[in-house]
């Protein structure tokens, strides 16, 4: 007589509890995309429709992968090892698929790895099954699915609120989109059509430049702590790394912040307690820990050595199987290896703060000369080392000071800063003070900020984000010396820009840009330029582009060829003067959307893809959302139109499209009674863009 082992569905409910929060679950799903070589993953949270969608362009799942997905606690991954995509493998426990049920009970998968499959699971039925090894999961073949994987989860009410509240804080959504330390992997987050992307990160060294005290690096191979100040190496300290079971690199910025200075630091580097903190990445994935490299570690040791205004990155890698984490991935499980990592980080943290605190005051109070002026008799010496005797013996960098002898003055230079000491006879003759920081007593030369272009630039919209510092050719101060462009401050329309990046512009407008810096001799130096943004228009069967109502936001050679009747309609609309034929034009805008949607529905590529039993505005919204969820298609449209990927992604606003289509009802039925000229222009703008969308969806073979 034989029996068999039965596995109740209740075991899955218990296993799912090992995933403590939906943020940890979300990170698990991102890791899955990373492990299959995706160049991007898009997480879309729609709190109205209560849908969570995760889409990537990775390799997709084969039948073998699908079987492994449902083989609980089974995986062919080796955590920490390099996979075939050259990435450090993240998952290995075989519990990844349970993460989806942290958000809701009904989940659908769509995946394609040379063959497309769709399948779904109702978790409420699965966990009540008497024996889950016999639970049926029906797979459907659908080869129209794009390469990659899409997961659609119906979110429950609790998770809708929890996710919305959590991502309302900048420090939280930035940690999700920056959860991987890999520039070749883009994480996009869309919350009710508001988009965030890891591509928009602020470079570490662009944080509050004027108040940076130290830039510090440590490399486990060179085994040296290197301190930099003002782009100069000021100290190199050997520091042994005696381990071979893990590797470690450190990159830190330490500040001397003024009042409210923390407000200008990237919120990515804020801890749950709102303190500044470095981020720890273990095997390229963010390690949610704020204790093993604590900026306040010296507070209970020696308060004078506390340098806690600290941000940056701690990067740890290891493929040792001893490494494991607690359920919320906030602590290592304790063993000899994890103790070695924690002890090393604690010790080097203390060393960095101890060394930095010894140098800090000398860099803040840059006054190391004991005399106010030099006796003319003493000045007879031509040996620079004689003048080094005038430097305070306690000055930490005494041996690094460069000394230049000029007529009637000595110039002491260090880390890009200067102190000038004059002879007593020079001071008496000129009536000047003898000593001054930042080149006091020197002849003033007119400073210059030189542009590499005309002071007025015409730019077509939609524009790419602009790094405004790229417009600077050179900068010279009143001593005739070159100034680092990075020292310039920038204002856009009188408002200070922290990053110096002008975001993409998609409407006609003008921007006044001010470049300025504080010259040590004469004060503020300012250079202005004017940027004029105009619309780039592709003419549709008409010659004069300036007065077009319907235009294509693309290059002049772009062709629309999916509906001949539509071409004629647009030509006729553009041939009418808006002022004289307002009502006729108003009634003619809705057919543009209707004809375009019909062309998409008639394309064999989209057979059964979209729900045809909806109002026109909902149909348009569904099509736009389809593109938003397939970022690769947006890139394909950008290739054809040169609109710009980020611009196009921002322009694909579902609610704005739906609003434009709904307003066409006013034009069709009530014309100028309720439809304003501004609303007509809004409709025309989104109709023009939808023409491009339709043209690409119908004719572009890489959009399916």
Residue that terminates a domain, selected from 388, 409, 437: 437
| Exposure string over 597-606, b if 16+ CB within 10 A, otherwise e | bbbbeebeeb
Span of 361-365, 479-483, 539-543 with lowest mean pLDDT: 539-543
Do 631 and 523 fall into the same domain? no
Q: How many helices (H) and strands (E) does the chain have?
A: 17, 28
Do 464 and 321 fall into the same domain? no
- Position 552 in a domain: no
Tokens of 458: 């015409």
Reported as a single tens digit per residue, the pLDDT across 60-119 is 999 888 887 776 654 555 566 788 888 988 864 555 677 888 898 899 999 999 999 999
In order of 246, 386, 625, the CA distances from 70 in angstroms are 32, 79, 30
Q: Rounded to whole angstroms, how far apart are CA atoms 331 and 325?
A: 6
Give the position of tokens 């993409």: 504
- Position 73 in a domain: yes
Q: Rounded to whole angstroms, how far apart are CA atoms 79 and 296?
A: 32
Do 128 and 238 fall into the same domain? no
Span of 98-112, 365-379, 569-583 with lowest mean pLDDT: 365-379
| Exposure string over 466-476, b if 16+ CB within 10 A, otherwise e | bebeebbeebb
pLDDT at 671: 42
Question: What pLDDT band is residue 295 in, cutting at 50, 70 and 90?
Answer: very high
* Closest to 637 (Cα-Cα) out of 540, 703, 557, 561: 703
- Position 543 in a domain: no
Q: Rounded to whole angstroms, how far apart are CA atoms 641 and 533?
A: 18
Residue that terminates a domain, selected from 166, 198, 230: 198
Residue that terminates a domain, selected from 198, 229, 245: 198
Question: What pLDDT band is residue 373 in, cutting at 50, 70 and 90?
Answer: low
Do 306 and 392 fall into the same domain? no
Residue 564, pLDDT > 60, answer yes
Average pLDDT, the chain: 83
Do 357 and 301 fall into the same domain? yes
- Position 180 in a domain: yes
Reported as a single tens digit per residue, the pLDDT across 546-562 is 456 777 776 656 778 88
The pTM for the full model equals 0.61
Do 580 and 659 fall into the same domain? yes
What does the DSSP 8-state code read for residue 146? P
Reported as a single tens digit per residue, the pLDDT across 409-448 is 888 888 888 888 776 655 554 444 445 544 333 334 567 8
Q: Rounded to whole angstroms, how far apart are CA atoms 600 and 619?
A: 11
pLDDT at 407: 74
Which residue(s) pair with 535 in the sheet? 461
Do 186 and 211 fall into the same domain? no
Do 76 and 141 fall into the same domain? yes
Span of 129-143, 290-304, 430-444 with lowest mean pLDDT: 430-444
Q: Rounded to whole angstroms, how far apart are CA atoms 422 and 442?
A: 10
In order of 154, 297, 353, the CA distances from 293 in angstroms are 39, 8, 12
DSSP per-residue codes, 557-592 = T----S-HHHHHHHHHHHTS-TTTSHHHHHHHSHHH
DSSP per-residue codes, 220-256 = TTTTEEEEEETTEEEEEEE-----SS-EEEEEEEEE-
- Position 640 in a domain: yes
Do 28 and 159 fall into the same domain? yes
* Closest to 105 (Cα-Cα) out of 116, 89, 128, 121: 121
| Alpha-helix runs per DSSP H in 328-466 | 336-364, 384-388, 424-430
CA atoms within 13 A of residue 491's CA, in its CB half-sphere? 11
Residue 160: CATH number of its domain: 3.30.565.10
Do 17 and 159 fall into the same domain? yes
Provide the domain count of the chain. Answer: 5
What domain range includes position 411?
378-437
Residue 543, pLDDT > 60, answer no
User: What phi, psi does 352 have (nearest 5°)?
Assistant: -60, -45
- Position 558 in a domain: no
- Position 442 in a domain: no
Do 15 and 113 fall into the same domain? yes
Tokens of 421: 């000491």
- Position 401 in a domain: yes
Which residue(s) pair with 413 in the sheet? 402, 418
Do 414 and 350 fall into the same domain? no
Q: Rounded to whole angstroms, how far apart are CA atoms 286 and 571?
A: 54
Q: Rounded to whole angstroms, how far apart are CA atoms 557 and 641?
A: 9
* Closest to 280 (Cα-Cα) out of 272, 269, 270, 288: 288
Question: What pLDDT band is residue 294 in, cutting at 50, 70 and 90?
Answer: very high
């Amino acid at each position: 007589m034989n029996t068999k082992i039965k596995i109740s569905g209740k075991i899955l409910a218990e296993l799912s509890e090992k995933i403590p929060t939906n943020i940890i679950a979300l990170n698990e799903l991102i890791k899955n995309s990373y492990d299959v070589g995706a160049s991007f993953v898009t997480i879309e949270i729609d709190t109205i429709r209560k849908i969570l969608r995760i889409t990537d362009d990775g390799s997709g799942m084969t039948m073998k992968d699908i079987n492994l997905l449902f083989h609980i606690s089974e995986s062919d991954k080796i955590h920490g090892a390099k996979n075939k995509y050259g990435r450090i493998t993240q998952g290995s426990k075989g519990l990844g698929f349970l993460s989806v049920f942290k958000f809701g009970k009904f989940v659908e998968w769509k995946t394609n790895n040379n063959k497309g499959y769709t399948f779904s699971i109702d978790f409420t039925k699965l966990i009540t099954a008497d024996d889950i090894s016999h639970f049926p999961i029906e797979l459907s073949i659908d080869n129209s699915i794009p390469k990659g994987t899409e997961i659609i989860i119906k979110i429950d009410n609790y998770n809708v609120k929890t996710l919305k509240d959590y991502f309302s804080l900048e420090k939280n959504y930035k940690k999700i989109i920056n959860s991987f330390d890999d520039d070749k992997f883009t994480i996009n987050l869309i919350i009710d059509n508001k988009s965030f992307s890891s591509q928009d990160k602020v470079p570490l060294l662009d944080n509050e430049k004027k108040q940076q005290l130290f830039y510090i690096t440590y490399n486990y191979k060179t085994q040296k702590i290197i301190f930099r100040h003002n782009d100069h190496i000021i100290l190199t300290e050997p520091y042994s790394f005696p381990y071979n079971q893990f590797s470690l690199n450190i990159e830190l910025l330490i500040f001397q912040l003024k009042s409210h200075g923390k407000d200008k630091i990237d919120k990515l580097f804020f801890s749950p307690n709102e303190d500044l903190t470095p981020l720890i990445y273990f095997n390229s994935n963010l390690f949610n820990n704020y204790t093993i490299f604590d900026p306040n570690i010296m507070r209970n040791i020696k308060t004078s050595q506390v340098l806690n205004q600290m941000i940056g990155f701690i990067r740890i890698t290891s493929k040792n199987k001893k490494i494991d984490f607690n359920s919320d991935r906030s602590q290592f499980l304790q063993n000899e290896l994890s103790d070695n990592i924690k002890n090393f980080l604690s010790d080097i943290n203390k060393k960095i703060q101890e060394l930095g605190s010894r140098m800090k005051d000398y860099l803040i109070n840059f006054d190391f000369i004991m005399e106010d002026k030099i006796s003319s008799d003493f000045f007879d010496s031509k040996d620079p080392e004689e003048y080094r005797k005038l430097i305070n013996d306690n000055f930490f960098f005494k041996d690094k000071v460069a000394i230049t002898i000029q007529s009637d003055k000595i110039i002491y230079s260090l880390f890009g800063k200067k102190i000038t000491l004059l002879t007593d006879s020079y001071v008496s003759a000129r009536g000047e003070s003898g000593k001054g920081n930042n080149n006091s007593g020197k002849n003033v030369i007119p400073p210059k900020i030189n542009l590499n272009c005309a002071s007025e630039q015409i730019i077509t919209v939609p524009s790419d984000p602009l790094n405004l510092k790229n417009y600077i050719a050179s900068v010279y101060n009143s001593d005739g010396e070159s100034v680092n462009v990075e020292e310039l401050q920038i204002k856009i329309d009188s408002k200070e820009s922290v990053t110096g990046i002008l975001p993409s512009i998609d409407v006609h407008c003008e921007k006044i840009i001010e470049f300025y810096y504080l010259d040590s001799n004469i004060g503020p130096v300012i250079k202005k330029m004017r940027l004029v943004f105009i619309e780039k228009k592709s003419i549709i069967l008409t010659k004069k582009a300036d007065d077009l109502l319907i235009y294509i936001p693309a290059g002049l050679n772009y062709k629309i060829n999916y509906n001949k009747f539509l071409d004629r309609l647009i030509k006729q609309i553009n041939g009418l003067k808006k002022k004289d034929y307002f009502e006729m034009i108003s009634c003619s805008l809705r057919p543009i959307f209707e004809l375009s949607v019909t062309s998409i529905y008639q394309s064999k590529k989209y057979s059964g893809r979209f729900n045809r039993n909806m109002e026109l505005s909902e149909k348009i919204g569904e099509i736009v959302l389809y593109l938003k969820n397939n970022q690769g298609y947006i890139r394909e449209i950008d290739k054809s139109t040169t609109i710009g990927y980020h611009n196009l992604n921002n322009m694909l606003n579902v609610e704005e499209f739906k609003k434009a289509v709904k307003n066409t009802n006013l034009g069709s039925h009530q014309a100028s009674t309720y439809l304003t000229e501004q609303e007509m222009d809004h409709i025309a703008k989104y109709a023009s863009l939808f023409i491009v969308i339709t043209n690409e969806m119908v004719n572009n073979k890489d959009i399916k």
